[in-house]
Amino acid sequence: MAKIISVNAGSSSLKFRLFEMDDETPITSGVIERIGFDDAIFTIKYNGEKDVKTLPIKDHKVAVQLLLEALIDKKIVNSLDEIKGVGHRVVHGGEYFSSSAIFDQDTADKIDAIRALAPLHNPAHLTGYYAFKEAIPTAGAVAVFDTAFHQTMEPSSYIYPIPYKYYTENKVRKYGAHGTSHFYVSQKVIEKLGNPEHSKIIVCHLGAGGSLSAVKDGKSINTSMGLTPLAGIMMGTRSGDVDPSIISYICEQTNISVEEMIDILNKQSGLLGVSGVSSDFRDVEKAMQEGNERAKLARQIFVRRVADYIGRYFVQMGGCDAIAFTAGIGENSFSGRHDILEAIKEALGIQINEDINHEAIGEEALISTPESKIKVFVIPTDEELVIARDTKRLLNL
């Protein structure tokens, strides 16, 4: 029986999920947070229990060793040799990768070559790769790229209207993100539609980070994030699309650097920046209900931006068979879904079963009525399963 572990190494974290791939059963999952600190947190879930420890964890190498020791100590596996594959989430594959790839030195070198496109993520992914390679040398490794699913976009969707040399010389273009989630959710929707030959689906991946995609016949033809995850809809702390001249204007007016301004757009904007309350959608909703006008405005902007992108992709695809909501907000906020759909229902002929929408919290559901011109689904995403499946396929396990 082949066991595969899906890994998501961040700059100071390591998320994991171990599968028995014969039947895709999750065996254990967890996260190691605050790597590099004396009060790092190691959370592991197994057999219906959750074990949480706080301890010093120097770096990712130590974190990986701690994780693997826990798998043995808790008898989740009898030997590390049972783990035949390690699937690594990689945020940015640039134009090198249009699909998942065997994680070897060539793949590592290419990921490193484009680290400037994802400076917080790609170096961390490489650290995770080398740490697991050293700890379990007998296991194969696969890289699964957030950007790969969107490599089917046409140039008219991914080339920016700036001097073309910046694309040819510097690879400045739209790459998108959340591709593994968009792929998984769109495939689930296609199955629910009866596996038609042709389909037009809009996926709304709405969480602390958020993006939408237009998926036509199973392929991404457009997505809201751009060169980096800063573009697109309003997010928890990210601004999403803004007039680029805002950057130079604020820099001149406040005497801050471009780097500081980009940091503000990434970490101090979005729901947090407008509401002044929180980057968490739940906190913003609570504040709005208590009469906070800025929280109300933040939520209205969020709804408007998502609705606008749905309309944009409806036009680009020449219609839409289904809209799917996923990720933290998409799966769990019935009121968020309601307001987004309320904003587009007249234009797109959408009708919602409010009772089902209200009950659909973190579970699959068809929330539109039979009379609705477009089906609307809630589909919990499962990026770790996609990573494990690709790892099994590419390693021939």
Per-residue pLDDT tens digits for 329-380: 999 999 999 999 999 999 999 999 999 999 999 899 999 999 999 999 999 9
Q: What are phi and psi of 305, to 5 degrees?
A: -65, -45
Tell me the average pLDDT across 1-15.
84
Of all residues in the chain, the percent with pLDDT exceeding 70 is: 99
Other CB atoms within 10 A of residue 29 CB: 18
Contact 210, 235 (CB under 8 A): yes
Give the CA angle between residues 199, 204, 207 to the nearest 5°.
Answer: 155
Tell me the average pLDDT across 259-282.
93
pLDDT tens digits for range 154-170: 999 999 999 999 999 99
Q: Are strands 40-46 and 83-90 parallel, antiparallel or unpaired?
A: unpaired
Nearest to 205 by CA among 218, 190, 220, 223: 223
With b for 16 or more beta-carbon neighbours within 10 A and e for fewer, the 67-105 pattern comes to bbebbeeeebbeebebbbbbbbbbbbbbebbeebbebee
pLDDT of residue 229: 86
Residue 148 has pLDDT above 90, yes or no: yes
pLDDT of residue 119: 76
Tell me the average pLDDT across 31-37.
86
pLDDT of residue 1: 66
Residue 18 has pLDDT above 80, yes or no: yes
Tell me the average pLDDT across 139-145.
95
Residue 12 has pLDDT above 80, yes or no: no
With b for 16 or more beta-carbon neighbours within 10 A and e for fewer, the 194-232 pattern comes to eeeeebbbbbbbbbbbbbbbbbbebebbbbbbbbbbbbb
Residue the block writes with tokens 């190494």: 9
Torsion over CA: 383, 234, 325, 220 (sign): negative
pTM of the model: 0.90
Q: Are strands 322-326 and 375-378 parallel, antiparallel or unpaired?
A: parallel
More confident residue, 208 or 104: 104
Q: Give domain limits for the chain.
A: 3-145, 195-378
Residue the block writes with tokens 């593994």: 180
Which listed residue (51, 81, 146, 243) is catalytic? Answer: 146
Say yes or no: do domains 3-145 and 195-378 share a fold: yes
Q: Are strands 375-378 and 365-366 parallel, antiparallel or unpaired?
A: antiparallel
47-51, 126-130, 251-255: which has the highest mean pLDDT?
A: 251-255
Give the CA angle between residues 148, 195, 153 to the nearest 5°.
Answer: 25
Contact 338, 354 (CB under 8 A): yes
pLDDT of residue 33: 84
Backbone conformation region of residue 273, classed left if phi is above 0, alpha if psi is from -120 to 50, else beta: alpha
pLDDT of residue 13: 79
Identify the band that residue 295 occupies on the pLDDT scale cut at 50, 70 and 90.
very high
Q: Is 146 noted as a catalytic residue in this protein?
A: yes
Tell me the average pLDDT across 297-301.
97
Contacts of 75 (CB under 8 A, 6+ apart): none
pLDDT of residue 2: 86
Architecture field, domain 195-378: 2-Layer Sandwich (3.30)
Architecture field, domain 3-145: 2-Layer Sandwich (3.30)
pLDDT of residue 338: 97
Contact 32, 14 (CB under 8 A): yes
Max CA pair span of the chain: 63
pLDDT tens digits for range 204-226: 999 888 999 999 999 999 999 99
Residue 391 has pLDDT above 90, yes or no: yes
Residue 287 has pLDDT above 80, yes or no: yes
Q: Which amino acid is at 237?
A: T
Other CB atoms within 10 A of residue 370 CB: 8
Contacts of 279 (CB under 8 A, 6+ apart): 208, 236, 237, 270, 271, 272
Residue 320 has pLDDT above 90, yes or no: yes
